[in-house]
């Protein structure tokens, strides 16, 4: 697993706007000096009031003007900072989100099979949230507070060297302890955040399958399971990090008490022996309480920063996971003149399990219509997955128009293949947008024509919003048959040279199947298209040019429907007779 450094990750996105970010820091820097200037002006005023017998506004005018000048400079820096912020930060956030999403979407098909969608989404969101927290601490937290502390300590050292050196030593010890303790807090927060992401993945999974919860009356069970996971996993980790946080604050409070008592006694001593004026006394105590306050908030900011970094470290793990099944560095685009398909000596297994194919050889001619049949687990879907490069074979090659698909880009490969799956998943968008997904450049008239050929147009016209009707998440507002027709309309619109039907008419009522089969026949009859069809209902394969019968990853029979029925004791005939019965 590659390691993604938090700072290098952010710097990659901030670098194009680095000068804006430098200007953004002008506000916090000005804020770091402001308490010093305020207390210095107060010292000048008090000393003037004590020493002057005849106090006049004219005598105090330079000090008043100086105070006003400090304020104007301070506010100007902050307003310039605001302008730089809106010119840079939105674009950096855009870059972080797009970069993170793009990396995730290029993970392999297996990655999405093995990870909760909700957990993935939660981590992407947390990366963006992590940037906001990270920069907020730099902009409003750690940087201005640390700078204020340094300026104030320098000023106190100027008034009294011993006092300044004591506070500097105290701050050094404090920051050292805080750094060590915060590293431990960071690790605790990381484990807590990992549990939270896993929990959100579970929540997302339950919501995505809410219809199953309704059907099996299992809402109470799923709620109890969620409660159990929270109590057994998340809450103990939350309590552990909060208890550690409590101990840190208790430790810091003792440090503060010691310092406050010492400073108070030491300043009284200096005043008694005449080493400091009344103005100095007010100046020192003003800055002292600034240092006290800033150190306290530095501690809090450091803890918050550690929490944010622990959270972010967990989220960045999604970008640390190596991508697999990527395009070859010199991959070319697939160009098809004749859509022939060849499997040569293909060997394949999922995750080093038992081989699905040991030595698969298939040759499909351009324009040939092929049916795939066999028991569940025979390798039908695996063959399609390999053709679409959702997985790569361990050995052997797959050729389309004599081009090795391992040497072409995956996008160009899939652009040449239209797939009508068994269960069509739609976007929560309008019907027009979902159908146009087959060809984003298609005009409305072409979308409507494809819908007519898919026997979908008349149904759409009955909807109040027509083609602008939203279909719900994953197309939940549509029936299975309606979703299948959307998939067919997409395929018609895509007009790819290779068509794959993955049990496209299974689990449908007779009338709907008839409509869909009629739509499919329009596609299948196109002599230029090469068609591979997996069918649960063998009657839909009767007119295929050739049917391949798979059994445990091996082609045991092949021929037309009539030829296979004539074979004695053929597996195809047994499957056919079983369906007829």
- Whether the pLDDT of residue 506 is over 60: the answer is no
pLDDT of residue 78: 81
Domain ranges of the chain: 6-320, 341-580
pLDDT of residue 580: 60
- Whether the pLDDT of residue 548 is over 90: the answer is yes
- Split at pLDDT 50, 70, 90, the class of 254 is confident
Report the chain's terminal Cα–Cα distance, integer Å.
54
- Mean pLDDT over 63-71 rounds to 79
Q: Is the four-CA dihedral 245, 246, 250, 253 of positive or negative sign?
A: positive
pLDDT of residue 503: 76
Same fold? 6-320, 341-580: no
Greatest mean pLDDT among 128-132, 292-296, 337-341: 337-341
**Opening angle at CA 487, ends 459 and 419, nearest 5:** 165
- Topology of domain 341-580 in CATH is Rossmann fold (3.40.50)
pLDDT of residue 397: 95
Nearest to 372 by CA among 532, 542, 565: 532
- Split at pLDDT 50, 70, 90, the class of 267 is confident
Percent of the chain with pLDDT over 90: 17
Nearest to 155 by CA among 305, 76, 39: 39
pLDDT of residue 528: 83
CA atoms within 13 A of residue 516's CA, in its CB half-sphere: 26
Q: Could you give the CA distance from residue 361 to residue 534 in angstroms, rounded to a whole number?
A: 18
Here the tokens at position 160 are 């009294």
Q: Which residue pairs, CB below 8 angstroms and at least 24 apart, start in 273-279?
A: 275/160, 276/159, 276/160, 277/47, 277/50, 278/46, 278/47, 278/50, 279/42, 279/43, 279/44, 279/45, 279/46, 279/47, 279/50
Averaged pLDDT of the chain: 81
């810091």: which residue's tokens?
Answer: 252
In tens, the pLDDT along 15-36 reads: 999 898 888 888 777 777 777 7
- Mean pLDDT over 124-138 rounds to 81
- Whether the pLDDT of residue 2 is over 60: the answer is no
pLDDT of residue 384: 92
- Whether the pLDDT of residue 253 is over 80: the answer is no
In tens, the pLDDT along 508-538 reads: 556 666 666 676 676 677 678 899 988 777 8
- Whether the pLDDT of residue 186 is over 80: the answer is no
CA distances (Å), 576 to each of 134, 329, 338, 505, 554, in order?
Answer: 64, 47, 33, 17, 19
Percent of the chain with pLDDT over 70: 88
The verdict on pTM exceeding 0.85 is no
The more confident residue out of 13 and 62 is 13
- Judge contact between 196 and 317, C-beta under 8 A: no
- Whether the pLDDT of residue 544 is over 90: the answer is no
| CATH number for the domain formed by residue range(s) 6-320 | 1.20.1560.10
pLDDT of residue 395: 92
Count of C-beta atoms within a 10 Å radius of residue 173: 11
Total number of residues shown for the chain: 581
Nearest to 13 by CA among 107, 113, 90, 117: 90
- Mean pLDDT over 453-466 rounds to 88
In tens, the pLDDT along 328-379 reads: 888 899 999 999 999 999 999 987 778 899 999 999 999 999 999 988 888 8
pLDDT of residue 347: 92
- Split at pLDDT 50, 70, 90, the class of 405 is very high
The more confident residue out of 434 and 137 is 434
pLDDT of residue 8: 83
């Amino acid at each position: 697993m590659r390691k993604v450094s938090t700072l290098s990750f952010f710097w990659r996105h901030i670098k194009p706007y680095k000068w804006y970010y430098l200007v953004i820091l002008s506000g916090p820097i000005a804020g770091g000096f402001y308490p010093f200037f305020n207390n210095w002006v107060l010292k000048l005023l008090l000393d003037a009031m004590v020493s002057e017998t005849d106090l006049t506004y004219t005598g105090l005018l330079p000090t008043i003007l100086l105070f006003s000048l400090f304020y104007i400079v301070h506010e100007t820096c902050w307003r310039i900072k605001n302008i730089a912020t809106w010119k840079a930060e939105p674009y950096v956030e855009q870059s972080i989100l797009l970069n993170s999403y793009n990396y995730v979407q290029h993970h392999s098909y297996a990655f999405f099979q093995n990870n909760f969608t909700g957990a993935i989404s939660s981590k992407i969101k947390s990366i963006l949230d992590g940037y906001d927290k990270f920069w907020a601490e730099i902009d409003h937290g750690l940087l201005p507070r640390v700078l204020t502390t340094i300026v104030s300590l320098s000023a106190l050292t100027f008034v009294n060297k011993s006092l300044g050196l004591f506070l500097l030593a105290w701050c050094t010890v404090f920051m050292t302890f805080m750094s060590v303790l915060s590293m431990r807090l960071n690790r605790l927060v990381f484990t807590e955040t990992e549990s939270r992401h896993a929990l959100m993945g579970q929540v997302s999974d339950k919501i995505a399958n809410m219809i199953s919860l309704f059907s099996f009356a299992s809402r109470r069970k799923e709620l109890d399971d969620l409660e159990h996971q929270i109590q057994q996993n998340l809450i103990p980790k939350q309590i552990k990090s909060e208890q550690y946080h409590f101990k840190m604050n208790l430790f810091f409070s003792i440090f503060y008490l010691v310092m406050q008592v010492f400073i108070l006694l030491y300043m009284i001593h200096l005043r008694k022996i005449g080493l400091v004026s009344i103005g100095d006394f007010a100046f020192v105590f003003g800055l002292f309480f600034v240092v006290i306050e800033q150190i306290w908030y530095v501690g809090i900011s450091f803890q918050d920063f550690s929490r944010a970094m622990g959270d972010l470290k967990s989220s960045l793990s999604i970008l640390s996971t190596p991508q697999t099944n990527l395009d070859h560095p010199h991959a070319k685009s697939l160009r098809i003149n004749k859509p022939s398909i060849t499997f040569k000596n293909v060997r394949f297994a999922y995750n080093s399990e038992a081989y699905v194919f040991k030595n698969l050889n298939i040759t499909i001619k351009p324009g040939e219509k092929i049916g795939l049949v066999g028991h569940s687990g025979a390798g039908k879907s695996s063959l399609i997955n390999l053709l679409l490069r959702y997985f790569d074979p361990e050995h052997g090659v797959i050729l389309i128009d004599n081009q090795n698909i391992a040497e072409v880009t995956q996008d160009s490969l899939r652009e040449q293949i239209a797939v009508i799956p068994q269960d069509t998943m739609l976007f929560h968008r309008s019907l027009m947008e979902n159908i146009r997904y087959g060809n984003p450049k298609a005009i409305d008239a072409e979308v409507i024509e494809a819908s007519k050929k898919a026997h979908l147009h008349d149904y759409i016209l009955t909807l109040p919003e027509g083609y602008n009707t939203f279909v719900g998440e994953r197309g939940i507002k549509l029936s299975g048959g309606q979703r299948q027709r959307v998939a067919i309309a997409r395929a018609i619109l895509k007009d790819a040279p290779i068509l794959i039907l993955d049990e496209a008419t299974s689990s449908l009522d007779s009338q709907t199947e008839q409509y869909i089969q009629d739509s499919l026949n329009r596609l299948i009859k196109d002599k230029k298209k090469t068609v591979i069809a997996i069918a649960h209902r063998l009657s839909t394969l009767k007119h295929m040019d050739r049917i391949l019968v798979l059994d445990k990853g091996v082609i045991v029979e092949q021929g037309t429907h009539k030829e296979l029925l004539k074979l004695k004791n053929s597996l195809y005939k047994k499957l056919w007779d079983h369906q007829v019965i």
